[in-house]
Amino acid sequence: MGVLEGLQKSVGYHFREQSLLSQALTHRSAGAQHNERLEFLGDAALNFVVAAKLYARFPKVSEGDLSRMRARLVREETLADIAGKIALADFLILGSGEIRSGGARRDSIRADALEAVIGAAFLDGGFSAAEGIVAQLVEPLMTDHLSDEELRDPKTRLQEFLQGQGRPLPIYALVAEKGQAHERRFVARCNVPGAEATEAEDGSRRKAEQQAAALMLAQLQVAARE
């Protein structure tokens, strides 16, 4: 049995071209033949398949809620959880620096590798191969239940809270960019007059702003209860 056989059973697809799967598992820290281009392809395939399946499964759900349901399924945290369930980290090929820093445990690396596997399957077996992996790993998580947080993102909820109190709207600012080009990190600040500014860091500027807004909202809600 090949070293990658267990992983292929877990994802529900056997690669004809094993080198594609190996590349999908290779972080850029390990060499030139890494998985970033496959990740790009897999991200697109994942989003399309999830959107199509949600559209078919929930015919009465609005476009906005379908978008939120898809976002929940394709976000980094969900993909990293799925990667954890199939022990994807055991198969990752990392450079020595990433190994020493525990890169296999990082959500971003595991999520990116899972998307790369989907992209590799698309190249190896066509759309049906990528669709099969999504059906195996992601479709069981599909539900039309949305929490209040998912129905309204943190920036929207913060704005509504401030409007309800007759206070000025928040101002967001990018205060720092960190890391190399391939691992850029953004630090965003949320300012509300009369409150202590909050900051959050993420690989996406938009997500950093959302997290800063969530911190600000929590701070204001605590103050309102006191």
Which residues contribute to the annotated binding site for Mg(2+)?
A: 39, 112, 115
Q: At 160, is the secondary structure helix, strand, or coil?
A: helix
Three-state SS at 98: helix
Question: First-to-last CA distance in the chain?
Answer: 63
Pull the structure tokens for residue 203. Answer: 């690989």
Q: Which two tokens stand for residue 222?
A: 């605590």
Distance CA 27, CA 49 (A): 25
Asked if 77 and 207 touch (Cβ cutoff 8 Å), the reply is: no
CA–CA distance, 211 with 188 (Å, rounded to integer): 9
The residues, any chain, with a CB within 8 Å of residue 212's CB and separated by 6 or more, are: 172, 188, 189, 190, 198, 199, 200
Q: Which residues are catalytic?
A: 43, 115
Phi, psi of 174, rounded to the nearest 5 degrees = -85, 115
